[in-house]
């Protein structure tokens, strides 16, 4: 499987352990790590004038160009094919027929990352496409302690503290299973809340479930 590396911290996986299968995945990782000093300085250096107050997808889109240039700069130079080399198998059959949108997409991938794509099996290609769809999924999970609708605490894994009435201060988990595992390490009264980060804005999807509702059900 083709994987990418963060040009700042050199990691190849996200917080849930999934490898970076696209440049967009690396850009999203850097956008989420902006509070870290190294990632913040890198973003300000590579993209002068960038607004680091942007969140989620918007910030990732601003970083895409710089991430692509860094990855291309780290890529080892490829040998140029000799002029007498025969065209790839099936190239003549493409002449004179319409090329589908799927094939055009694969052609762009080959143009950007070399001729390695023709060696990938259909199973690997399906896995890459699945990983790309998964990286674009805006659904996230957060740990919250809900005392009332006006008093909710959101857990931040990095600091080990809770942000009061500010969901943007909590940690977003890509996988619900990961959020559930962290929840077991915390005190009682913590619930897993589903959010969406579509269009760079946090929007709650789970209904409100205060602690008093759980206590009333246990007494019943």
What's residue 103's pLDDT? 54
The answer to whether residue 112 is domain-embedded is: no
| 184 and 131 belong to one structural domain | no
Domain membership of residue 43 as a residue range: 1-76+122-137
Asked if the model's pLDDT at residue 205 lies above 80, the reply is: yes
Per-residue pLDDT band for 144 (boundaries 50, 70, 90) equals very high
Q: Tell me: do 126 and 214 sit in the same domain.
A: no
Among candidate residues 137, 162, 186, the one where a domain is terminated:
137
Same domain, 21 and 54: yes
Q: Does residue 26 fall inside a structural domain? A: yes
Count: domains in the chain: 2
Same domain flag for 132 and 163: no
**40 & 132 share domain:** yes
Share the mean pLDDT of the chain.
77
Phi/psi for 12 (5° steps) reads: -115, 0
In a domain, 167, yes or no: yes
Q: Are residues 36 and 127 in the same domain?
A: yes
**Residue 23 confidence class, pLDDT cut points 50, 70, 90:** confident
Residue 127 pLDDT greater than 50, yes or no: yes
Residue 116 lies in a domain: no
pLDDT of 181 reads 92
Per residue, the 3-state secondary structure of the chain, as one string, reads: CCCECCCCCCCCECCCCCEECCHHHHHHHHHHCCCCHHHHHHHHHHCCCCCCCCCHHHHHHHHHHHHHHHHHHHCCCCCCCCCCCCCCCCHHHHCCCCCCHHHHHHHHHHHHHCHHHHHCCHHHHHHHHHHHHHHHCCEEEEEEEEEECCEEEEEECCCCEEEECCHHHCCCECCHHHHHHHHCCCCCCCEEEEEECHHHCCEECCCCCCHHHHHHHHHC
Average the pLDDT over 189-194 and give the result.
91
160/201 same-domain check: yes
Task: Kindly state whether residues 33 and 7 are assigned to the same domain.
Answer: yes
Residue 98 lies in a domain: no
Same domain assignment for residues 5 and 65: yes
132 pLDDT above the threshold of 90: no
Q: Is residue 90 part of a domain?
A: no
The verdict on residue 107 lying in a domain is: no
**Is the distance from CB of 162 to CB of 21 less than 8 angstroms?**
no
**pLDDT confidence tier of residue 53, bands split at 50, 70 and 90:** confident
- Mean pLDDT, residues 106-134 taken together: 66
């Amino acid at each position: 499987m083709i994987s990418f590396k963060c040009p700042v911290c050199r990691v190849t996986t996200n917080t849930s352990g999934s490898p970076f299968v696209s440049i967009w995945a690396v850009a999203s990782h850097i956008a989420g790590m902006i509070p870290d000093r190294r990632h913040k300085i890198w973003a300000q250096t590579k993209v002068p004038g960038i607004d680091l107050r942007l969140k989620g997808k918007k910030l990732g889109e601003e970083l895409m160009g710089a991430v692509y240039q860094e990855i291309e700069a780290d890529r080892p130079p490829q040998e140029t094919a000799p002029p007498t080399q025969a065209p790839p198998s099936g190239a003549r059959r493409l002449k004179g027929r319409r090329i589908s949108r799927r094939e055009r997409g694969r052609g762009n991938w080959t143009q950007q990352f070399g001729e390695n794509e023709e060696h990938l099996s259909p199973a690997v290609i399906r896995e890459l496409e699945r990983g790309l769809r998964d990286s674009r999924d805006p659904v996230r999970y957060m740990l919250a302690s809900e005392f009332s609708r006006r008093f909710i605490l959101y857990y931040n894994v990095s600091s080990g503290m809770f942000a009061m009435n500010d969901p943007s201060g909590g940690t977003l988990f890509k996988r619900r299973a990961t959020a559930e595992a962290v929840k077991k390490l915390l005190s009682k009264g913590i619930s897993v809340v589903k959010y969406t980060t579509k269009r760079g804005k946090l929007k709650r999807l789970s209904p409100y479930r205060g602690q008093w509702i759980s206590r009333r059900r246990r007494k019943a």
